[in-house]
Amino acid sequence: MKALVKAEPREGLWMQRAPVPEIGPEDVLIKVNRTGICGTDVHIWNWDDWAQRTVPVPLITGHEFAGEIVELGRAVEGLELGQRCSGEGHLIGKTSRQSRAGKFHLDPATRGIGVNEQGAFAQYLRLPAFNVVPLPDAIDDEIGAILDPLGNAVHTALSFDLVGEDVLITGAGPIGIMAAAVARHVGARHVVITDVNPERLELAARVVDVVPVNVAEEELAEVIPRLKMKQGFDVGLEMSGNQRALDQMVEALVMGGRIALLGIPPGKSPVDWSRIVFKAITLKGVYGREIFETWYKMIAMLENGLDVRGVITHRFAVDRFAEGFAAMRSGQSGKVVLDWTG
């Protein structure tokens, strides 16, 4: 089969032939139809410090996918050949206290497909049946291929009650934009999204009913009276990983505000803790998706009017993967989806 492989410990990915994976009794084999390129895949392409520390070479990359089941392990129950699916790319252990309490997304032994284990950028993917998420007809393969990052957005956005609340999202990357769509869908009042990249803000405003603010040019504080908010934002969703964005968020929140943090800062970064203490702010770190509650909720929302298709800005046949990665690395794209069916 064709597979996009981190074949050498240097910048780039290589399309190679690889054997179709053999499945165990509790696995399924999935024929991959569409995949999404993630920021994580760009780190692996760039071969930055994190990738060098984390990713074994050679490795089939990729973790955002949709496809159909073409083989079932002999112990698999409740799934059928031909079932369209996406799936959770975090492979969890079943013995930790968190897993045994049903908090699968908090298992400390988690391993990621396309990061630690063979991934989804291939014509066929082996996945534990446990990780499979069947797709209803209403969700096509290209949306199925971006459920992983949509799940990050949904997990973060649903961390706090947003009904009637004023919500600030820092970072108009694909995940920030999808979080804005979710905030709108669940009934937030004002949704403001910040970035320093005008193209990203334009995309956000095209895709979702949000107020875009370019914090390189405009003061966030001026937006608060303009929207007739008295004090500031009730809830912040940090989706940039940028230190200045978090500082601005803390300043712009009401007393007793709540912040969910998804963005990953590049290293240790200073935080003005006294502001957080005196404003009585609640902070929540967010990792991955809740397995499988986030999947359940996002599919239900997609079946009931949540529309994130506009965040997909580029579609390529997989042989043009280099163009897809170039679009991602430009920082100007939304989601880039690769088609493996050709």
Which residues carry out catalysis? 40, 43
Does residue 58 have a cis bond before it (omega within 30 degrees)?
Answer: yes
Beta carbon nearer to Zn ion, 145 or 186: 145
Closest CB to ligand NAD belongs to which residue?
A: 173
Between CA 197 and CA 194 the distance in angstroms is 9
Among 140, 190, 141, smallest CA distance to 163 is for 190
Count CA atoms closer than 13 A to 282's CA, side-chain side: 10
Report, in Å, the least distance between residue 334 CB and ligand NAD. 9
C-alpha distance from residue 64 to each of 45, 197, 199, 243, 321 (Å): 15, 25, 24, 27, 14
Place of tokens 């940090």: 238
Tokens describing residue 29: 């084999």
> Does 118 participate in binding ligand NAD (rule CB under 6 A)?
no
Does residue 9 have a cis bond before it (omega within 30 degrees)?
Answer: no
> Does 316 participate in binding ligand NAD (rule CB under 6 A)?
no
Place of tokens 């990780």: 131
Q: Please list, residue by residue across 150-163, b when 16 or more beta carbons sit within 10 angstroms of its beta carbon and e when fewer do.
A: bbbbbbbbbbbebe
Report, in Å, the least distance between residue 165 CB and ligand NAD. 20
Interface region with ligand NAD, contact rule CB under 6 A, candidates 25-33, 106-114, 267-275, 280-288: 280-288
Report, in Å, the least distance between residue 60 CB and ligand NAD. 20
* Residue 307 DSSP label: -
Between CA 93 and CA 100 the distance in angstroms is 9
**Residue 148: contacted member of Zn ion, ligand NAD, none (CB under 5 to 8 Å, by partner type):** Zn ion
> Does 88 participate in binding ligand NAD (rule CB under 6 A)?
no
Between CA 150 and CA 307 the distance in angstroms is 11
Report, in Å, the least distance between residue 65 CB and ligand NAD. 15
> Does 38 participate in binding Zn ion (rule CB under 5 A)?
yes
Binding mask 233-262 for ligand NAD (x = CB under 6 A): ------xxxx-xx----------------x
Binding-site member from 20, 70, 202, 287 for ligand NAD (CB under 6 A): 287
> Does 176 participate in binding ligand NAD (rule CB under 6 A)?
yes
**Residue 241: contacted member of Zn ion, ligand NAD, none (CB under 5 to 8 Å, by partner type):** ligand NAD
> Does 114 participate in binding ligand NAD (rule CB under 6 A)?
no
Q: Is the dihedral of CA 196, 198, 200, 205 positive or negative?
A: positive
> Does 148 participate in binding Zn ion (rule CB under 5 A)?
yes
> Does 329 participate in binding ligand NAD (rule CB under 6 A)?
no
Binding-site member from 67, 144, 171, 212 for ligand NAD (CB under 6 A): 171
Indicate the residue type of 202: E
Is residue 23 helix, strand or coil?
coil
Please report, as ranges, the residues that interact with Zn ion according to CB under 5 A: 38, 64, 148-149
The residues that touch ligand NAD, with contacts defined as CB under 6 A, are 39, 152, 170-176, 194-197, 200, 215, 239-242, 244-245, 262-264, 286-288
